[in-house]
Amino acid sequence: MLSRTADNLYSLARYVERAEYLARILEATQRLTAVPLDTAGESNEWESAVATAGCAHAFYAVYDEANEENVTDFLAFSTDNPSSIRSCFEVARTNARAVRTALTMEMWDAINGTWLELKRYGNGPTSREEFSRYLRWVQESSLRFDGSAYRTMLRNDAYWFTRLGIYLERADNTARILDVKYHLLLPAQEHVGGPLDYFQWAAILRSVSALTSYHWVYRESLKPWLVADLLILKEEMPRSLASCYENIVRYLDDIGSAYGRQGPSQRLARGIRTRLQNSRMDGIFQNGLHEFIQEFIADNNRIGQTITQQYLT
């Protein structure tokens, strides 16, 4: 297939996944701010939302303060922010239009329908209730896109590149969520195990739809190292780094065997997966969770670049 087509599919999937991630962050933040102020103390959830979205730099170039209004606008609706939810959907649709022929009717419907619906929301919601509905809708749109791709696409390179886009973005997102909360939570001297700590860890899990899974897997109250274990090492957890890399390796292998040739992407991906498989939680915490995550994000970026060089240009 054309390199440009593969690139478009890969980016399209990334943007849709990213829109969903932003909606999850905003939802979690909304929930965190519902904690009574005297419990929450001085913490600033909106600041952490911006950091988790990975766009603190761009944000503070426009705004002085991270409050509900500014952050909501910037992450969800701003046209100045190239990775606001709205921009993500816009770019996704432009990509989709450019590869109309590679999409199934259902996928096009999902992405075009989302884009048409987006216009209804205009520059923002009129109430908190409407904003909550909007965030649900964003996640449902992503689910619909994902589901129609899964159900209707031929299992060939077009499908594999689409999946790669999703898993690379998802791995990056999960890592960022863990990292920022690590900063936010662990330095607290006395609150570990306290109500705020509990709420914040619950919000993290909720933001990746993993709160219920946590209880099923560990059957105990929320512990930071167990949350990290779930989101980093548990292959059965669909958003965990291990699960993302299991998929990345698999789809790269599919591409490699269809094309009859393996390359640097395949080797790099297997290397990262092996490192995850050989890691233990106590080791990660001993060497520093933050360092581990930073290294992972760098690796994840590197594999993105390698895939681009090998296939997409």
Partner 1 sequence: MPVAFDEMNGADGAVRPAYSQLSAWLSEIRPDVLDYRRREAELVFRRIGITFAVYGEADAQERLIPFDVIPRILAASEWATLARGLEQRVKALNLYIRDVYGRRECLRAGIVPEDLVFQNPVFRPEMNGQKVPHNIYVHVAGVDIVRVDADTFYVLEDNARTPSGVSYMLENREIMIRLFPELFSRHRVTPVENYPDELLATLQSVAPNTAPGEPTVVLMTPGVYNSAYYEHSFLADKMGIELVEGRDLVVKNEIVYMRTTQGPKRVDVIYRRIDDDFIDPLAFRPDSALGVPGLMSAYQAGNVTLANAVGTGIADDKAVYSYMPDIVKFFLGEEPILKNVPTWRCREEDHLAYVLDHLEQLVVKEVHGSGGYGMLIGPAADKATIAAFRSKLKSSPKNFIAQPTLALSTCPTCVDSGLAPRHVDLRPFVLTGRDRVRIVPGGLTRVAMKAGSLVVNSSQGGGTKDTWVLAG
Binding site for partner 1 (CB under 8 A): 1-6, 94, 97-98, 100-101, 108-109, 112-113, 116, 157, 161, 255, 259, 311-313
Closer residue to partner 1 (CB): 163 or 181 = 163
Do 68 and 46 contact (CB within 8 A), yes or no?
yes
Nearer to partner 1, 34 or 105 (CB): 105
In the complex, minimum distance from the CB of residue 101 to partner 1, in angstroms, rounded to a whole number: 4
**Of 236, 205, 239, 241, which is closest to residue 223 (Cα–Cα)?**
205
Nearer to partner 1, 21 or 161 (CB): 161
Query: Do 24 and 208 contact (CB within 8 A), yes or no?
Result: yes
| Minimum distance of partner 1 from residue 259's CB (angstroms) | 5
Instruction: Using alpha carbons, select from 281, 181, 175 the residue that is nearest to residue 226.
Output: 281
Minimum CB distance to partner 1, residue 143 (Å):
19
Of the two residues 7 and 20, which places its CB atom closer to partner 1 in the complex? 7
Of 6 and 276, which has the nearer Cβ to partner 1?
Answer: 6
How many angstroms separate the CA atoms of 229 and 275, rounded? 14
Sequence letter at residue 313: T
Minimum CB distance to partner 1 smaller for 3 or for 209: 3
Q: Is 67 helix (H, G, I), strand (E, B) or coil?
A: coil
For the bound state, the minimum distance from the C-beta of residue 23 to partner 1, rounded and expressed in Å, comes to: 24
Asked if residues 132 and 167 have their Cβ atoms less than 8 Å apart, the reply is: no
Quote the least distance from Cβ 118 to partner 1, whole Å. 14
**Taking a C-beta distance cutoff of 8 angstroms, is the pair 271, 303 a contact?**
no
List Cβ neighbours of 17 (8 Å cut-off, separation of 6 or more).
Answer: 142, 165, 166, 169, 170, 173
The single-letter DSSP state of residue 102 is G
| CB 117, min distance to partner 1, A | 12
CB atoms within 10 A of CB 216: 8
Query: Toward partner 1, which CB reaches closer, 1 or 192?
Result: 1
Smaller CB separation from partner 1, 5 or 279: 5
CB of 261 to partner 1, least distance (A): 8
Retrieve residue 43's tokens.
């913490």
DSSP letter assigned to residue 31:
H
Give CA–CA dist 266/7, Å, rounded.
Answer: 17
Q: Considering the complex, what minimum distance in angstroms separates the CB of residue 30 from partner 1?
A: 32
Helix (H) or strand (E) holding 204: helix 195-207
